[in-house]
Structure 1
Amino acid sequence: MNLNEIAKKAHDCAVLRGKISPIDEENNFHLDLLNEVAEVFNAEGKTSPHIEHFSDFEEELADVILVAMSTLHHFGSNVDALIKAKMDFNQIRND
């Protein structure tokens, strides 16, 4: 699966779970992402209660990625191209 396919799958799952509404005005993507980042800070590094072989910290970081990718998909971004372009830019940054 490429990043666009993962983003679509994550978005479709979020819509089914009621996390994302097809109506933009009903969404608060900034708050959703902020809440997921907060869960990373609350993770204790213990074994995830939901997925084997990973910590709760890793699981919460994965949630941050999935929420970001779902949001990008919602707004029609080409996630593959965006990530490549951002990585290319980061390689030439001077900071």
Structure 2
Amino acid sequence: MMSGKSRTLAFQIDEDLFQRIKAHLERETQRTGRKLTQREFVLSLIEEALKEAERPTAEEAGQAGVPEANVGPCEPSKPEEEALPPEKP
């Protein structure tokens, strides 16, 4: 993901949140046997949030030419009246 250039992102958080993060990092280190750094943790959260935010919504997907859910790629959409069998007299 790194493009060669790097930028610094710095912010302050309150002490309670900082302690919760430290406790989480310690638990993950114990669980996995590998030290999880603050940097790795924060970057993974940012990546997840961006992926979710960039995922097209169903409405956007429909506008992008995605076929309707119940219609196959080669099937024309039929009105419901045509899909019903003819009534018997």
Alignment TM-score, normalising by the size of structure 2: 0.31
Structure with greater Cα Rg: 2
Taking CA–CA contacts closer than 8 Å with sequence separation of 6 or more, which of the two structures ends up with the larger relative contact order?
1
**Structure with higher helix content:** 1
Alignment TM-score, normalising by the size of structure 1: 0.30
